């Protein structure tokens, strides 16, 4: 793989003494664990691109150890695949897709399509590879008859910013498989396919919640269509698994007065304070800062309020010593969905803001911010400031910058902040 140095894993003495199997087994055991760390890191609020690149070097080191192990490496990985762990699917898929042997590819496809989690690991493996290596496999998946294989192909094509043929997309739109349809709706937004937004928009009232969300998300990313924004608002108000992402996207398209009215509705009428706090960060107007600082006094909202404040102001709460000790006896409701569990885990990595210190910080700097202007990381939102945020921000801030940049430049693909760190660094 370009961009990362290969690691010489075995010496001649080790090979001749039979240590190769032992060393390869160590790589096979560690590769899934490190990949799981990187899978969480791409959505983490405390990882920057340089941190992701370092973690990716560790992933590549273990994959390279398996490569050098040759047939021994593959057999060990193949045996471990029986456990069906996503991290092992990732490692095995990288080896199989790189090697191009049909039998090995079929093995990883059989295991990797068993669950949504393992299918995501397949996509991650294809995204890990250079585009010229991944492309033939992606084309084969796009032309497969099974919906799950086409879904993996659509997701991998979007990860590499490759454009599937129109007939492939149309067939996916017409599929009876809701997961395939939803993933294709999502890809339309990720790839900036403005010409297809009308087809996607026709699914804003889909009975399937996943299809409805991604139809609304992509349409809103590509256009200012009122029905799509309203669709996302309804999803956000419902408090389901997509509510936070729906609120963030809807808020980026609402007119300022409509945005402020909706924030009031979320807080006063619906009691959705967490959604309101997250939406306020996406609103990006400094007018919401007093509200965010006030929510820092509420333990279950403090950290996410601090994150929204940082997204607007650019303050690094931990680095600038604006944090304090966590309050005692914080009650956290158990997550009801995998998405809610992921959000809770991400919150645990956020600092606890001290509202008094944050207020003092803001008092000395609020004169640099104009109400009615949208900010990201302390800078008015422009293509230049967003590109700077992609270079220097934390992962969730970078994801926000990517969305804002796509909205400013409709028809351009969404920047992939989950791609291998070294590849992102080259692009930036």
pLDDT tens per residue, range 31-80: 999 999 999 999 999 999 999 999 999 999 999 988 888 888 888 889 98
Is residue 112 within 8 Å of 118, Cβ to Cβ?
yes
8-17, 74-83, 137-146: range with lowest mean pLDDT: 8-17
- Residue 275 is predicted with a pLDDT of 97
What's the gap between Cα 255 and its chain centre?
26
Give residue 309's pLDDT band: very low, low, confident or very high (50, 70, 90).
very high
- Residue 106 is predicted with a pLDDT of 96
At 275, phi and psi to the nearest 5? -60, -40
What's the gap between Cα 172 and its chain centre?
23
CB atoms within 10 A of CB 322: 25
Is residue 293 within 8 Å of 355, Cβ to Cβ?
yes
The helix (run of H) or strand (run of E) holding residue 380 is: strand 379-380
Is residue 14 within 8 Å of 23, Cβ to Cβ?
yes
With a CB cutoff of 8 Å and minimum separation 6, the contacts of 11 are none
Structure tokens that stand for 183 in this block: 């993933």
Is 106 contained in some domain?
yes
Q: How many domains does the chain fold into?
A: 1
- Residue 158 is predicted with a pLDDT of 97
3-state secondary structure of 323: strand
Is 9 contained in some domain?
yes
**Mean pLDDT confidence for 181-190:** 98
**Mean pLDDT confidence for 134-154:** 97
Question: What does pTM read for this prediction?
Answer: 0.91
Domain that holds residue 79: 1-161
Is 339 contained in some domain?
no
Count Cα atoms within 13 angstroms, Cβ side, for 45. 22
80-84, 120-124, 304-308, 395-399: range with lowest mean pLDDT: 80-84
Q: How far apart are CA 77 and CA 97, in angstroms?
A: 14
- Residue 327 is predicted with a pLDDT of 85
Is 428 contained in some domain?
no
**Mean pLDDT confidence for 95-113:** 95
Q: How far apart are CA 69 and CA 64, in angstroms?
A: 8
188 pLDDT more than 50: yes
Tokens 């102001």: give the residue. Answer: 313
Burial 189-224 (b: 16+ CB within 10 A, else e): bbbbbeebbebbbebbebeeebbbbbbbbbbbbbbe
**Mean pLDDT confidence for 139-145:** 97
Percent of the chain residues past pLDDT 90, beyond the cut: 81
Torsion of CA 33, 37, 42, 43, to 10 degrees: 120
- Residue 29 is predicted with a pLDDT of 84
Is 15 contained in some domain?
yes
Choose among 285, 280, 360, 279: nearest CA to 317: 360
Give residue 287's pLDDT band: very low, low, confident or very high (50, 70, 90).
very high
Give residue 21's pLDDT band: very low, low, confident or very high (50, 70, 90).
confident
Is 309 contained in some domain?
no
Q: How far apart are CA 298 and CA 273, in angstroms?
A: 10
37-41, 171-175, 301-305, 344-348: range with lowest mean pLDDT: 344-348
In angstroms, the Cα distances linking 23 to 18, 349, 387 are 10, 33, 42
**Mean pLDDT confidence for 285-291:** 98
Is residue 259 within 8 Å of 287, Cβ to Cβ?
no
Q: How far apart are CA 336 and CA 238, in angstroms?
A: 14
Is 137 contained in some domain?
yes
What's the gap between Cα 2 and its chain centre?
23
Is 278 contained in some domain?
no
- Residue 11 is predicted with a pLDDT of 53
Tell me the H-state helices in 162-224: 166-173, 178-190, 197-201, 209-222
Model confidence over 326-370: pLDDT tens digits?
887 665 555 555 555 656 666 888 999 999 999 999 999 999 999
């Amino acid at each position: 793989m370009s961009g990362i140095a290969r690691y010489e894993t075995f010496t001649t003495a080790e090979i001749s003494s039979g240590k190769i199997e032992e060393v390869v087994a160590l790589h096979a055991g560690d590769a899934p664990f490190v990949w799981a760390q990187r899978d969480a890191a791409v959505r983490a609020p405390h990882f920057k691109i340089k941190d992701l690149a370092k973690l990716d070097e560790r992933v590549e080191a273990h994959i390279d150890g398996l490569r050098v192990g040759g047939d021994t490496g593959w057999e060990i990985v193949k045996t471990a695949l029986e456990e069906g762990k996503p991290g092992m699917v990732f490692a095995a898929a990288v080896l199989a897709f790189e090697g191009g042997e049909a039998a090995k590819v079929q093995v990883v496809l059989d295991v990797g399509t068993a669950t949504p989690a393992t299918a995501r690991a397949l996509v991650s493996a294809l995204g890990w590879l250079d585009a010229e290596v991944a492309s033939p496999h992606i084309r084969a998946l796009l032309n497969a008859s099974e919906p799950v294989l086409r879904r993996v192909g659509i997701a991998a094509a979007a990860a590499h910013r490759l454009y599937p043929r129109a007939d492939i997309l149309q067939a996916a739109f017409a599929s009876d498989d809701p997961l395939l349809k939803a993933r294709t709706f999502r890809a339309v937004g990720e790839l900036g396919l403005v010409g297809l937004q009308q087809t996607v928009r026709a699914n804003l009232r889909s009975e399937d919640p996943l299809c409805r969300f991604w139809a609304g998300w992509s349409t809103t990313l590509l256009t200012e269509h009122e029905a799509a924004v309203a669709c996302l608002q309804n999803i956000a108000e419902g408090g389901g698994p997509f509510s936070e992402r729906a609120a963030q996207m809807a808020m980026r398209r609402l007119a300022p007065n409509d945005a402020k009215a909706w924030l009031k509705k979320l807080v006063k009428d619906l009691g959705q304070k967490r959604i309101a706090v997250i939406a306020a960060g996406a609103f990006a107007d400094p007018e919401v800062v007093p509200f965010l600082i006030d929510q820092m006094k509420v333990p279950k909202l403090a950290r996410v309020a601090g994150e929204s404040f940082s997204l607007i102001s650019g303050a690094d709460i931990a680095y600038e010593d604006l944090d304090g000790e966590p309050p005692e006896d914080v009650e956290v409701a158990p997550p009801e969905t995998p998405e809610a569990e992921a959000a809770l885990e991400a919150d645990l990595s956020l600092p606890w803001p001290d509202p008094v210190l944050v207020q003092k910080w803001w008092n000395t700097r609020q004169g640099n911010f104009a109400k009615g202007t949208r900010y990201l990381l302390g800078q008015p939102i422009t293509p230049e400031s967003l590109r700077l945020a992609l270079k220097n921000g934390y992962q969730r801030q970078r994801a926000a910058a990517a969305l804002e940049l796509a909205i400013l430049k409709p028809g351009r693909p969404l920047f992939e902040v989950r791609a291998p760190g070294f590849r992102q660094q080259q692009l930036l």
